[in-house]
Amino acid sequence: MDLLTIADKTFTSRLIVGTGKYSSPAVMVRAHEASGAEMITVAVRRVNITDRTKESLLDYIDTSKYFLLPNTAGCYTAEEAVRTARLGREAGLSNWVKLEVIGDERTLFPDNEQLLEATRQLVREGFVVLPYTTDDPVVCRKLEDAGAAAIMPLGAPIGSGLGIQNVNNLRIIREFARVPLIVDAGVGTASDAALAMELGADAVLMNTAIAGAQDPVAMAEAMNLAVRAGRFAFLAGRIDRRMYANASSPVAGLVGR
Amino acid sequence: MRITLNGEPHDLAGPLSVTALLGQLQIDPRRVAVEHNRIVLKRGSFDATLVAEGDEVEIVNFVGGGDGN
């Protein structure tokens, strides 16, 4: 059995999905089922004090079936992210965090300096830290050295759907990474997810590609299959690329020669 | 007495426990995390933690999200 192990937990699925941007909770629930994901990321926000009529996200997530991964999405400093991670731990009763420290509003690229600082602090506090970062091999190595339980480089900017922009960087990161490599953000369609897995990623995390698709449930299933197909292809070992054709049929025995 | 609740001024009759505050606000304590004067509280200490004049309280829960925001 090909299992994904992160820190002390083991997963069958290599697809991690989000809970944002869905047209309705019912669509989200069906998309989660179709995705086959076992880990779901959620954001931490202030409770609406004045309007208590809104339903809670947790009304729609079967926490006996899905492992919740609180994130620090929207945080811009290490301090904010650490504070949010601590709150997320109490709200969810697990010490895992998808750590995000954003550095720029338009690109949502991470502030890697703040990210490293927050990673070190949260590791000291006993968190299992999964940091979202750029596809920079040096930063990924520093995060790993800081005690990150996985490294999560982007494929492209969050929500952009551009797919894997720097295949070579991911190859290099794959080569030296000793902790799981999760491609987080940038996936637009199934082939992007398959490519990430073919490059040797251990998992893929996505939200918008599924939630924003015209049919999110169908796209979730496509992603489920793509991640598995990409993983199988990686394990199978692809053929070498060559410039010219190489016939699959024997030359010997051709009629008329 | 006045406290700051989720960044906004909030008036209360008098000092009360976090559990009582959540009750007044009709918030299920199992679904939220609470920060009292910048210290994140363990759920088991909601009963014993007293909210008093001028305190800062943050009550958060999980909402839909993936990356960014």
| SS3 readout for chain A | CCCEEECCEEECCCEEECCCCCCCHHHHHHHHHHHCCCEEEEEEEECCCCCCCCCCHHHCCCCCCCEEEEECCCCCCHHHHHHHHHHHHHHHCCCEEEECCECCCCCCCECHHHHHHHHHHHHHCCCEEEEEECCCHHHHHHHHHCCCCCEEECCCCCCCCCCCCCHHHHHHHHHHCCCCEEEECCCCCHHHHHHHHHCCCCEEEECHHHHCCCCHHHHHHHHHHHHHHHHHHHHHCCCCCCCCCCCCCCCCCCCCC
Flag whether B10 is in a domain.
yes
Shortest Cα distance, chain B CAs vs residue A156, angstroms: 12
| pLDDT score of A222 more than 70 | yes
Interface mutation vs chain B, best among A87, A94, A208, most B CBs within 10 Å:
A87
Looking at beta carbons, which residues of chain A come within 8 Å of B60? 44-47, 87, 91
| pLDDT score of B69 more than 80 | no
Query: Which of these, A11, A75, A67, A15, lies nearest to A42 by C-alpha position?
Result: A67
Is the minimum CB–CB distance between A161 and chain B shorter than 8 Å?
Answer: no
**CATH number of the domain within which B15 lies:** 3.10.20.30
Into how many domains does chain B fold? 1
Residue in A with minimal Cα distance to B40: A87
- Tell me the per-residue pLDDT of A92-137, one tens digit each, with 9 for 90 and over: 879 999 999 999 999 999 999 999 999 999 999 999 999 999 999 9
Give the domain extent around B24. Answer: 2-60
Query: Out of A13-27, A167-181, B54-68, which region has the weakest mean confidence (pLDDT)?
Result: B54-68
Looking at beta carbons, which residues of chain B come within 8 Å of A41? 65-66
Shortest Cα distance, chain A CAs vs residue B49, angstroms: 15
Please judge whether B59 and A70 are an interchain contact, meaning their C-beta atoms are less than 8 angstroms apart: no
Domains and CATH numbers, chain A: 4-236 (3.20.20.70)
- Tell me the per-residue pLDDT of A90-99, one tens digit each, with 9 for 90 and over: 998 799 999 9
Q: How far apart are CA A46 and CA A25, in angstroms?
A: 19
Shortest Cα distance, chain A CAs vs residue B21, angstroms: 11
What is the β-pairing status of strands A182-184 and A152-153? unpaired
Shortest Cα distance, chain A CAs vs residue B15, angstroms: 19
pLDDT at residue A256 in the model: 83
Q: How far apart are CA B59 and CA B30, in angstroms?
A: 12
Flag whether B67 is in a domain.
no
Residue from A21, A54, A65, A98 carrying the catalytic annotation: A98
- Tell me the per-residue pLDDT of B8-52, one tens digit each, with 9 for 90 and over: 999 999 999 999 999 999 998 988 999 999 999 999 999 999 999
Q: How confident is the model at residue A187 (pLDDT cuts 50, 70, 90)?
A: very high
Please judge whether B62 and A42 are an interchain contact, meaning their C-beta atoms are less than 8 angstroms apart: yes
Q: How confident is the model at residue A88 (pLDDT cuts 50, 70, 90)?
A: very high
Specify whether A142 is catalytic.
no
Q: How confident is the model at residue A51 (pLDDT cuts 50, 70, 90)?
A: confident
Flag whether B65 is in a domain.
no
Please judge whether A91 and B25 are an interchain contact, meaning their C-beta atoms are less than 8 angstroms apart: no
Give the mean model confidence (pLDDT) for residues A148-173: 95
Query: Out of A20-24, A66-70, A117-121, B64-68, which region has the weakest mean confidence (pLDDT)?
Result: B64-68
Flag whether B6 is in a domain.
yes
| pLDDT score of A257 more than 90 | no
Q: How confident is the model at residue A204 (pLDDT cuts 50, 70, 90)?
A: very high
pLDDT at residue A59 in the model: 85
pLDDT at residue A247 in the model: 86
ipTM above 0.90, yes or no: yes
Flag whether B45 is in a domain.
yes
| pLDDT score of B55 more than 70 | yes
- Three-class secondary structure of residue B4 per DSSP: strand
Q: How far apart are CA A238 and CA A240, in angstroms?
A: 7
Select the residue of A49, A73, A100 nearest B5 (Cβ to Cβ): A49
